[in-house]
Amino acid sequence: MSNIMGQTITITLFGESHGASVGAVLDGLPAGEVIDWDQVRREMERRAPGRSALSTARAEADAFEIQSGFFNGYTTGTPLCAIIKNSDHHSRDYDHLRHVMRPGHADYTGKVRYGGFQDFRGGGHFSGRLTAPVVFAGAIASQLLSQRGVTVGAHILQIGSVQDQFFDPTGETEQRLRQLKEETLPVLEIEKAAAMEQYILEAKGQLDSVGGVIECMAIGLPAGVGNPFFDSVESRLSHMMFSIPAVKGIEFGDGFALAGMRGSQANDSFYYDGPVVKTRTNHNGGINGGITNGMPVVFRTVIKPTASISRRQETIDTDTGENCILEIQGRHDPCIVQRAVPVIEAAAAWTLLDLILTTPQGR
């Protein structure tokens, strides 16, 4: 299994949804960094389940335990390992899923790939539970980015048919991005939060689920970070984003809307703002040739509807080799978009920190 990502700094994920714990090993972090663990805990709480009617009833504290890499108040430069223990899991809810494949899940593909030896309880290693250590890593990366003048924030752009306004592509304030982290449903138009909540609860009442779109922005990035082709900023961020369960699409800047523009519209004109080079628009999301141009990096990810729904669905029984009907039991999110926001932020922060530390100008 490929569970390691990064170049100068790497993250290794381990654990299963219903195992003893999940966790991460973070290698390559600079020595001598101070970490605000209370801030890390606040980020973990944003992702944690069981906090409202909009998420699963599974109640996990997402409390982490540092095993190595931090001593006398500073990072040591050696691998920083953290475990997050699992406590509230109902494995019996998944006994029959060894052979009855859930539509939209990795049950079938995982069984084929690993010959039936995978841990199928709660999705095992394929579960969104593994995003908890991603948020842990991203919370640390965000603090190191902040010291370098970089802030990452995100909001829910869309849930179902309810849409929030877009970020200002030429930049939001650091205060605005940080304020969004305090909201259960982080949106720019406050009145849209109630409409989104109602949309989610209606789907829940119909034993169904909904998806949405998350828009993410990084401000304060200097020009010159990244590389062309295989290690472009878009390539690296996309690789990380598609590692998050339920992400099914990504676009940078105006993304697919660029197909309807002419070059005269899509090009971002440069100008000097004193000694600083800026662009008057940001259709390209702050990236040219795979390298940051100094404007905000802006991208959007599509989060599919939660695969686990309580409605009857057609599927297969791999023991009998026959078609069958499945009614999923257990506790599930009617919408994972709101819990995915801190995951997207964390994944972006970790990737951008790695890019900054890897690019010669960022050393």
CA-closest candidate to residue 176, choices 188, 166, 160, 162: 188
230 is in an annotated binding site: no
Q: Is 181 annotated as a binding residue?
A: no
Distance CA 81, CA 281 (A): 42
Average confidence (pLDDT) over 284-308: 97
Long-range (24+ apart) CB contacts under 8 A made by 248-252 are: 248/302, 248/303, 248/304, 249/301, 249/302, 250/299, 250/300, 250/301, 250/302, 251/299, 251/300, 252/284, 252/285, 252/287, 252/297, 252/298, 252/299
Q: 308 among the known binding-site residues?
A: yes
Q: Residue 180: in which H helix or E strand, if any?
A: helix 174-180
Q: Lowest-pLDDT range, 13-17, 146-150, 238-242? A: 13-17
Residues 81/23, Cβ–Cβ less than 8 Å: yes
Q: Is 47 annotated as a binding residue?
A: yes
The answer to whether 159 and 337 are in contact (CB under 8 A) is yes
Here the tokens at position 278 are: 């800026």
Tens digits of residue pLDDT in 231-278: 999 999 999 999 999 999 999 999 999 999 999 999 999 999 999 999
The answer on whether 79 is annotated among ligand-binding residues is no
Which structure tokens are listed for 29? 């972090």
Residue 127 annotated as part of some ligand binding site: yes
CA distance 158 to 303: 10
Residue 204, marked binder: no
How confident is the model over 170-197, as a mean pLDDT? 97
The verdict on whether residue 125 carries a ligand-binding annotation is: yes
Q: Judge: domain 4-362, CATH 3.60.150.10.
A: yes
Does 363 score more than 50 pLDDT? no
304 annotated as a binding-site residue: yes
159: its two tokens = 């849930």
